[in-house]
Amino acid sequence: MDNILISSAQLILPGHPQNGKIVDILIEKGCISRIAPNIKPTTKKLHIVDGKGAVVSAGFFDLHANFGEPGLETKEDITTGIAAAAAGGYTGVAVYPNTNPPIHSRSEVALVVNTAKGNIVDVYPVGTISKKREGKELAELYDMQKAGAIAFSDGNQAVQQAGLMGRALLYAKGFEGLVISFAEDETVAGGHQMNEGQMSTYLGMKGKPNLAESLMVSRDLFLAEYNDARVHFTCISTAESVDLIKKAKAKGLKVTCDVAAHNLVYTDEEVVGFDSNFKVNPPLRTKKDIKVLLKGLKEGTIDAVVSQHTPHEVEYKNVEFHIAQEGIVGLQTTLPFLIRAGLTPEDIIRYLVVQPRQVVGKDIPTLEEGSEANLVLFDMHAKWRLTAATNKSKSENSPVFGQELIGKVKLVINHSQLVENK
């Protein structure tokens, strides 16, 4: 990587001595050598990036993404997943075990860690809670953590057995592991196609009620309290879940949670056109739910925003809505979605940079002189399109494919590597 000068960018990072100021940042040999209001180039061998009107901060960190490797590489492999993540502003990604085989032993964890090693994006595998994600027998959590697993979840298959979930929380507590709950009671949610409400009734489709999520949130909060253990809820989508977690935090429970970016901007009304790219799990909810989710972010109930990047081949999406697979590719569109939702640059740094790393105990890049450069430069107002040319994922299942988006990542730097979006 050439030496780089980022000029006239607004640095936003809580606690940084230059927070909020317009600065130049000189990066030499992969490290930040100088931060000052005006740095004059001293050599011709310098790649200058105009940061005027843009924000520079530590690289984004995603707590929930799906790559296909191992076993489902036709959806996404680690290489293409990293490319999509870097294009979206991420320098760290937690990948879920929705693979075949699942990431349910140290072998799969080691495969992901070793395959991703040395790339611009740090990839952290999330191991399963149960063997084969079957929800019957506890997986080897400690072995997986020693091999590099950052947390434990059964991915998009919620743990239905309360006893198993309770044992997982208690066991992980012994080695400071983090158990992640995907809150869905299958006996209530079974056979759903979308959110249960006026729109599902109008369309004559089976709906998943908010109760399916809030029941499981309530259960796992009780289990976490009983075992005095940490729990993290991923992709909460309902007003009831926000209320339950808010009360749990007020009681002093060790609970954190995140929300998917698309659940902050789209409602179940989008499904009226039967576009399968709006079929996600948890489903798109109502305007009331979105309002409460955004309030939950502002108040600190919700800790982070995730991409829930879920790639699928065209044959799994370009079909009738009721048989289409759930999920969208989200790594490159999280920033535009958050801007559309009305978040400020400070909010974005809080929910994509600082608090996601705090949830999993990772150090926040300092952006200090002498430190390794781990940063993102993004423009809140720049326009671009997600097209076959700009899309870095293997898959194209996005509701905004081909549309003009506001909010563009200009570059990412990490591990002496640069990705720049032209």
Checking DSSP bridges between strand 180-181 and strand 231-233, what pairing results, if any? Answer: parallel
| Beta-bridge partners for 256 | 232
The pTM score is: 0.97
Taking residues 202-215, report their average pLDDT.
96
Centre a 10 Å sphere on the Cβ of residue 42 and count the other Cβ atoms it contains.
9
Angstrom distance (rounded) from CA 348 to CA 342:
10
Structural Rg of the chain based on CA atoms: 21
Report residue 69 CA to chain centroid gap. Answer: 17
pLDDT tens-digit series, residues 51-70? 999 999 999 999 999 999 99
pLDDT at 1: 77
Of the candidates 209, 248, 211, 250, the residue with the CA atom closest to the CA atom of residue 232: 248
pLDDT tens-digit series, residues 225-264? 999 999 999 999 999 999 999 999 999 999 999 999 999 9
Centre a 10 Å sphere on the Cβ of residue 16 and count the other Cβ atoms it contains.
17
Angstrom distance (rounded) from CA 189 to CA 381:
39
Token match 């293409």: residue? 80
Of the candidates 188, 268, 282, the residue with the CA atom closest to the CA atom of residue 236: 282
Distances (CA, A) of 143 to 38, 58, 359, 375: 50, 31, 21, 32
Element housing 226 (H / E): helix 210-227
CATH H-level, domain 4-56+368-420: superfamily = Urease, subunit C, domain 1 (2.30.40.10)
pLDDT at 4: 96
Angstrom distance (rounded) from CA 93 to CA 303:
16
Mean pLDDT of the chain: 97
| Beta-bridge partners for 23 | 9
pLDDT at 363: 97
Taking residues 307-322, report their average pLDDT.
96
Where in 109-169 does DSSP place strands (E)?
Answer: 122-127, 151-152
* Sign of the CA dihedral with 304 first, then 183, 310, and 121 last: positive
Classified by CATH at the fold level, domain 59-359 comes out as TIM Barrel (3.20.20)
Token match 């990948």: residue? 95
Token match 């317009």: residue? 22
- The tokens for 200 are 């599902």
pLDDT tens-digit series, residues 367-385? 999 999 999 999 999 999 9
Of the candidates 89, 83, 140, the residue with the CA atom closest to the CA atom of residue 116: 83
Token match 């400690």: residue? 142
pLDDT at 192: 82
Taking residues 138-156, report their average pLDDT.
98
- Cα three-residue angle 231-101-89, rounded to 5 degrees: 60
Whether 44 shows a pLDDT value over 80: the answer reads no
pLDDT-above-90 percentage for the chain: 97
- The tokens for 196 are 């249960």
pLDDT at 45: 85
Distances (CA, A) of 259 to 35, 87, 214: 34, 21, 14
Residues of each domain in the chain carrying CATH 3.20.20.140: 59-359
pLDDT at 3: 93
* Sign of the CA dihedral with 93 first, then 98, 100, and 101 last: positive
Residues of each domain in the chain carrying CATH 2.30.40.10: 4-56+368-420
User: Strand, coil or helix: what is 36?
Assistant: strand
Centre a 10 Å sphere on the Cβ of residue 8 and count the other Cβ atoms it contains.
16
pLDDT at 41: 86
Taking residues 115-140, report their average pLDDT.
97
Length of the chain: 422
pLDDT at 312: 98
Sorted by sequence, the CB contacts under 8 Å of residue 45 that are 6+ apart come out as: 2, 3
